[in-house]
A and B are shown apart, each in its own frame.
Chain A
Amino acid sequence: MGTPKLLEPQLTNPSPRPEKRSPGLSRRLARQGWAFALPALVMIAAITIFPILYSVIVSLNHITFTSQGYHFQWVGLHNYSVIFSNPLYRYSLIFTVIYTIVTVFVELVVGLLIALVLDKLIAGRGLMLAVLLLPWSLITVISAEMWNYIYNGVYGVLNALLIGIGILHTPVVWLGKPFIAIVSMMFADIWKTTPFVAIILLAGLQMIPHELYEAAEMDGASGSARFWRITFPLLRPTIALSVLFRVLQAFGIFDLPFVLTQGGPGHATESLALLGWQVMFQDLNMGRGAAIAASTTLIVLGASLLVLRAFRAQVGEEDLG
């Protein structure tokens, strides 16, 4: 598998002069290079690569906590067969997939619209970027508490606002029924993460050369033709990357349901990460929780490869055309 073009590191050295080094110096520098890189690489490996491999082993065992440590009992794929036949796991999987698709799609559309507005804006663009950065930098837990209060069925401001302007006649319990709770949670997520998408897409828009638009205008291309023929194709790499980031985040969503709905009502907003965490740390079933986590990771990896593949195929077409 080659490196996705999107993520290809810049390996060319922009420094103009080719290097001339003696073999001895070269070797010394290589040694120093390793010495410099090792502390960081060891730390990353210890906290990410090693646990990922270890969690696969955990997922194949039944773990009991003892006073000194752990007792491992090999159960093979038992944990996986249990979770795959569990209705809650299946619901949670479907919920997380739909949640990811809907939120990422809406964020992409709204984020693109915001980016298009800001791209046209001359005065106050810096101010608008600052405004967009505020929800982005907000602690998700705080955002969840904030929306919980806004959605409150008795004294929440959303009901008051909607009744005030005549859209609603009676208050709605926004987090009380499954479907509405899911939509409410999606809305809270979209409010917080659309700015991220908008900022990235705005940067992408600003890379598109103005001459292209001027030429198209002279040819009499309409606004929508300019968007679909110039803006959208040239923005596609940026779109792919922001979608990739967001899919990864949305699929692992934990903080928002933990605080906003506690996975409820019932289990309506129980994401895979929340389910996995509850199985690990409330039921203290590490093996089964690790199985849920491992399946989540596999799906996330598959999805990100899909996003990259879809994007790459399109680049290929353009190269030929």
Chain B
Amino acid sequence: MKMRRRARRTQMIATLWSIVIALFMLAPLYWLVTTSFKTPSEIGASPPTVVPNPVSLHNYARAFTYYHFQVYMRNSVIVSVGATILVLALGSMAGYSLGRLPVRGKHSILVALLMISVFPEIAVISPLFMLMRTLGWLNSYQALIIPYTAFNLPFAIWILRNYFLVIPREMEEVARIDGASALRTLVQIILPQATPGLFTAGVFTFTAAWTEFLMALTFNSSPEFRTIPVGIALFGAQFVIPYGTIFAASTAAVVPIGILVLVFRRSVVSGLTQGAVKG
């Protein structure tokens, strides 16, 4: 009886604290989204209003017709989808090889992959810029797709390899006896059993590419090739920061990725925690 009462009290305290935490996390986002529906005069009002009145789509119209934010969205989609597809294709092949095939030195390769993911982006930005300029790739999609692929491959290879390791060997052997090639075995036998791993690697790559700023700013700064973060950061290049436009564009950019992350919540959490708790 006493135990149960104490458990109920613990639950109540935990729930109350959770509400506080949720408010702290959500309040700034609420401000971001509601401000995007305010008129310019209401955005500059002091004291600020809690609920937009009237609800205005002015900022959205301005973001999409005057600033052509849809171009940045298209660029972000092309770059993120391109990198995600490449990471999944190359990552599952490499993950299969390093997890399942008798490759000599795979231990060192796996450790090297971990070390590489430790290097800060700023370390490679000047030589990559010089390389891209020499190749004539500045302001192009490949200028971002290829680096995003390379930077996200190590994590994807690790995640996928961990999934491949636990698939029973018998299935591969049957396929081999039937004369299936390694590629066919991978695509038809292995990958279908590792779909959670594919989701995790895919969602992580997509999110990383969607949010990346440093390389996008450095390699693709011309208006036709800007991605969402670069577009939003450079909205306010003049003296006045057009908050309304920025927040309308931000809301449009946040909603798709927010939905993606919420739908694939499990994959994301498992991806975040995989390395952390398995050591």
Interface residues of A (CB under 8 A from B): 3, 5-11, 13-15, 17, 19, 21, 26, 29-30, 32-34, 36-37, 39-41, 43-44, 46-52, 54-55, 58, 63, 69-70, 114, 117-118, 120-124, 126, 128-150, 154-157, 160, 164, 191, 195-196, 199-200, 203-204, 207, 237-238, 241-242, 248, 251-252, 254-255, 258-259, 272-273, 276-277, 280-281, 286, 289-290, 293-294, 296-297, 300-301, 304
**What string of 1s and 0s marks CB contacts (under 8 Å) between B148-186 and chain A?**
011101100110001001101110000000000010001
Name the contact of B90 in the complex, choosing from A39, A203, A255, A301 (C-beta under 8 A): A39
B207 at the interface (CB under 8 A from A): yes
Also in contact, A7 and B279, with CB within 8 A (given A139-B254, A254-B122):
yes
Q: Which A residue sits closest to B33, measured CB to CB?
A: A146
20 A-B residue pairings within 8 Å (CB atoms): A15-B168, A17-B170, A26-B102, A30-B104, A33-B98, A40-B91, A47-B149, A52-B123, A133-B261, A134-B26, A134-B261, A137-B211, A143-B28, A154-B44, A204-B276, A238-B277, A255-B213, A255-B214, A300-B119, A301-B118
Contact A120 B25 (CB under 8 A): no
Also in contact, A6 and B123, with CB within 8 A (given A40-B157, A157-B31):
no
Q: Would you list which residues of chain B between 217 and 268 have a CB under 8 Å from chain A?
A: 217-218, 228-230, 232-233, 236, 241, 243, 246-247, 250, 253-254, 257-258, 260-262, 265, 268
A73, chain B: closest CB distance, angstroms: 15
B194 at the interface (CB under 8 A from A): no
Name the contact of B93 in the complex, choosing from A37, A69, A293 (C-beta under 8 A): A37
Also in contact, A14 and B253, with CB within 8 A (given A142-B32, A157-B48, A241-B275):
no
Contact A114 B21 (CB under 8 A): yes
- Specify the main secondary structure of chain B where it touches its partner: helix
B96 at the interface (CB under 8 A from A): yes
Determine the distance from Cα of A145 to Cα of B234 in the docked complex, in whole angstroms: 11
A136, chain B: closest CB distance, angstroms: 8
Interface residues of B (CB under 8 A from A): 10-11, 13-15, 17-18, 21-22, 24-26, 28-29, 31-32, 35, 43-48, 90-91, 93-94, 96-98, 101-104, 107, 109-111, 113-114, 116, 118-131, 134, 146-147, 149-151, 153-154, 157-158, 162, 165-166, 168-170, 182, 186, 207, 210-211, 213-214, 217-218, 228-230, 232-233, 236, 241, 243, 246-247, 250, 253-254, 257-258, 260-262, 265, 268-269, 272-273, 275-279
Determine the distance from Cα of A48 to Cα of B125 in the docked complex, in whole angstroms: 10
Complex interface: chain B residues within 8 A of A30 (CB) = 101-104
Complex interface: chain A residues within 8 A of B211 (CB) = 137-140
Complex interface: chain A residues within 8 A of B130 (CB) = 58, 63, 70, 286
A-B pairs with beta carbons under 8 A, tally? 317
Q: Which A residue sits closest to B120, measured CB to CB?
A: A252
B5, chain A: closest CB distance, angstroms: 15
Contact B213 A254 (CB under 8 A): yes
Between B17, B31, B124, B169, the greatest number of chain A beta carbons within 10 A of the residue's beta carbon is seen for B124
Complex interface: chain A residues within 8 A of B110 (CB) = 9
Complex interface: chain B residues within 8 A of A144 (CB) = 233
A61, chain B: closest CB distance, angstroms: 11
